[in-house]
Structure 1
């Protein structure tokens, strides 16, 4: 679980959800204390349903996160899941939350999966969006849907030793979100295909979504 004070600000990985049994609902949430302490310096309070920083939460997690999941009664649910590559067989609510990231317009929490190279024996295929975009002032025509991108690790980054750059050719487009960046330390460039899947722009580039697919 990541938090940031506002759009355009850096992310803090303040908590982690985990489960040992991939087919079960035995999910646990706990805060990451060092990240919480850093985030508190710039205004982080807590996640409202998890007020105790020292407690390990293991009950009613789905209920606490229901608003972050697309209701099954929504007519556009399939389109929404397709946008996030979250409509594969065997995905439960916890997988769905990780794939769709659980963002709301009312806060700045995101739920960013630490992806494996393969899920249920198939090369992972997930969607992410560019970080640090607002700092680069990119042209609205810098990329188009379908463009292939590439990545480079940036271990000497002063803010994050796990930082990963996203580039189109030699041009810097932005960075991988903190949380998703860990995936790129598990793969080689030739093992993955990265493509622009969607754009948000209004006179300037507001957001770039891209897919990451592990070659089988």
Structure 2
């Protein structure tokens, strides 16, 4: 059991900004006591962009504590799937001791039918071991990067951007001196705990469709 907090992220559509409308918290670090509650400020901003609620959690004022795994079951890879090990390996989630909550955070729980994501607030270490996780670049659709701007295996670096008016916790990602996008909200909080020399950031996978569509990168505490 690694994760203590996962943010429920929503955005109006692909390419739009994310709102961290809710948060799942593990109340007992050694157990399955999970609570979900909405974040009022984020809900208010998201509602202006068309957000209603997460269907299984309709009441903005309620704390949800029961049947959370069942409510989120479609977000988890079935243990009977033949490609389950490959899927978990892609997300660096093939770690002994992970429970369903950890798996949800590591794999982000995306579906093709909506724009929700489950974005973990990663610790720097767990049981004395440096964290290792995968994320993907935000704001790519606004940059129109060339197809050959990065390659699998390229090393990346980050810079904090506290002057960002939209998000004071914003984190920019670079290949050498070239800006290639932002860290997603939720995941960006991790980068405020570390320095570049403490972590190894590498491109792990690319999606291209005439232009750079998606850049996945791994983060490993050295």
Output the TM-score relative to the length of structure 1: 0.99
Say yes or no: does 1:82 pair with 2:89: yes
**In 1, Cα distance between the equivalents of 2:114 and 2:210?**
25
> In structure 1, what is the equivalent of residue 67 of structure 2?
60
> In structure 2, what is the equivalent of residue 100 of structure 1?
107
Say yes or no: does 1:38 pair with 2:45: yes
**In 2, Cα distance between the equivalents of 1:53 and 1:20?**
20
How far has the Cα of 1:106 moved from its partner?
A: 0.4
Say yes or no: does 1:164 pair with 2:165: no
> In structure 2, what is the equivalent of residue 115 of structure 1?
122
Task: Give the aligned length.
Answer: 215
> In structure 2, what is the equivalent of residue 24 of structure 1?
31
What is the RMSD computed on CA atoms of the aligned residues?
Answer: 0.6
Structure 1 alignment gaps of length 5 or more: none
How far has the Cα of 1:22 moved from its partner?
A: 2.1
**In 2, Cα distance between the equivalents of 1:58 and 1:142?**
45
The 8 Å contact of residues 27 and 35 in structure 2, kept in 1 or not, is answered as no
How far has the Cα of 1:202 moved from its partner?
A: 1.7
**In 2, Cα distance between the equivalents of 1:23 and 1:63?**
20
How far has the Cα of 1:23 moved from its partner?
A: 2.2
How far has the Cα of 1:121 moved from its partner?
A: 2.2
Structure 2 alignment gaps of length 5 or more: 1-7
Matched residue SS, 2:120: coil
**In 1, Cα distance between the equivalents of 2:145 and 2:118?**
26
How far has the Cα of 1:203 moved from its partner?
A: 1.6
Moved over 4 A (4+): none
**In 1, Cα distance between the equivalents of 2:108 and 2:126?**
17
Give the counterpart of 2:157 among 150, 154, 162.
150
How far has the Cα of 1:120 moved from its partner?
A: 2.8
Deviation string 1:81-128 (CA, Å, 9 cap, x unpaired) is 000000101000000000000000000000000001012321000000
Give the counterpart of 1:185 among 192, 201, 209.
192
How far has the Cα of 1:21 moved from its partner?
A: 1.7
